[in-house]
Homo-oligomer: A and B are copies of this chain.
C-alpha cells in the first residue's frame, strides 16, 4: 500500500511513518508544504530505521506530490491547516484514495486541555466537508501519543478507534492500524461519532499530567 503522510514532518506523522516502515511493508511518502523539509525528514526517518536494521525507501515531497497516486493519505496536520492542505491536494484525490484524519482541536485553560469542537461537529467531519465529493474519509489514530509512537523501543499495547461510513475505506484503515504491532483498531461507528472519539485526546493528556507513570498514556477498551 502506498501511504502519504501530509504534514508527515510533524510529530504524529513521524510516529506513524516510523511504525509503518518498521512493522509493515507499505511504501511511505512524507509530505510537507516545504519539499526540502519533507526530504530532510524522510532521510532522518530512513537513518533511524537503518540503525535498527530496516532498509526503507521513505521519500519526501511537497504535499500534493506526496498525495499523488497514494492509496491512503493521512492528514497529519493541525486542525487549522486541514482546509489548506485538502485544497492543495484535492486534484490528486479520488474515490479510490482513503483520506485519514487523526487531528484533534484542543484549547488550554488553567485546568488543562479541552476538546475544541469545530462547527462541523468534529475535525473528522470538517475533513469530510472539505474533501472532494466521493473521497472516503476515516477518522483514526487520535488517541496515540506521538512521542510513544516515534520511540520504536516502546512496545505498544493499546487501541485506536475508527469512524467512517465507507466500509472499504474502513477495512483498509483497520488493516493499516493493525499492521502496527501492539495496536488494535475498534469501530466507533459513523463520522457523527467522531466528537466523542476526538475528545479522548485532551482527556489522555490531562491524565498524563495528573497521574504518575501515565506519560504518553494510551487507552484500551475491554
Contacts and interface: CB of A to CB of B under 8 A. Distances in A.
Secondary structure of the A contact surface, majority rule: mixed
A211 B186 contact: yes
A220 interface: yes
B210 A218 contact: no
Contact of A210 (B157, B186, B211, B214): B186
Given A115-B195, A192-B111, A196-B114, A221 B210 contact: no
A146 interface: no
A57 interface: no
A214 B220 CA distance: 11
How many A residues are at the interface, by size bracket?
35 or more
Contacts of A114: 192-193, 195-196
A222 B217 contact: yes
A78 interface: no
A21 interface: no
B207 A218 contact: no
B115 A207 contact: no
A214 B184 CA distance: 13
A207 B186 contact: yes
Contacts of A206: 188-189, 193, 196
A77 interface: no
A151 to B, nearest CB: 16
Interface string A84-114: 0000000000000000000000000111101
A203 interface: yes
8 closest cross-chain pairs (CB), A and B: A111-B192, A196-B203, A187-B210, A199-B199, A111-B190, A220-B220, A217-B221, A189-B206
